[in-house]
Amino acid sequence: MNKINDFSIVTNNPIVKEKYSQVIFVDGGFEDVLIKTRDLVHSGHELINHPLGASIRMFFSPYRSIIVSSKSTELVDNEHVSIMESSIISYRKQMENRMPDIVNSQDYAIIDSELLDSSVEEMKRFYN
């Protein structure tokens, strides 16, 4: 990714869909967002932020937003592919006995959006 505006957000979060213009909206759950992102990374999109949250609680979030480069290259980054694949395995393992916490969906949507904003700010410090 060369320029700050060359990014897309893979998300199933309706707040993020409203807030950002560069959205690849996934009509599904957290796992579907991971799978869509994995497919993009496999086809040469750069993974910008880590697909998993930083705490167990955020695994129960019904919503997730992940940043990728909007343009793809022919060169697939194996490390990014590996991060995506192991994240999907971790997510499935974590959710084996649990369900997404849909009762608190609205709060998760807000926090996911806030954490995404922080990631975008952090990204801007690298790409400008």
Partner 1 sequence: MKLEQNRIYIKDIQFGDVTAVNNGILTVNKEEMINFLKEDPKVKDVKLDIARPGEKTRIIPVKDVIEPRVKISGGKGFSGVTQTTTQLGDGIVNILYGAAIVTVGDIVGFQEGVVDMWGEGAKYTPFSKTFNLVVDIEPAEGLEPHMHETTVRMAGLKAAEFVGEAGRDAKIDETLTYDIGNIDEETKKYPNLPKVLYVEMLISQGLLHDGYIYGVNSQLILPTLLHPNEEIDGAVISGNCVAACDKITTYQHQNNSAILDLYAEHGKTINFIGVIITPELTTLQGKFRSCDYTAKLCKTLGANGVIVSEEGYGNPDSDLLMICKRLETAGIKTVLITDECSGWDGASQPLADTTPEAVAVVSGGNVSHVVTMGPADKVIGNDKAIATLSGGWEGCLEADGSLKCELNAVIGATSEIGFHYCTAREY
Q: Which residues bind partner 1 (CB under 8 A)?
A: 47-60, 67, 80, 83, 86-87, 89-90, 93-94, 96-99, 101, 103-104, 106-108, 110-111, 114-115, 117-119, 122-123, 125-126
Measured at the alpha carbon of residue 73, what is the angle toward residues 85 and 25, in degrees to the nearest 5? 60
> Minimum CB separation from partner 1 for residue 59, in Å?
7
Residue with tokens 């213009």: 21
> Minimum CB separation from partner 1 for residue 50, in Å?
4
Pick 36 or 63: Cβ nearer partner 1: 63
Pick 3 or 57: Cβ nearer partner 1: 57
* CB-based contact 52:90 (threshold 8 Å): yes
* CB-based contact 105:5 (threshold 8 Å): no
Candidates 23, 109, 107; CA nearest to 66 is 23
> Minimum CB separation from partner 1 for residue 21, in Å?
20
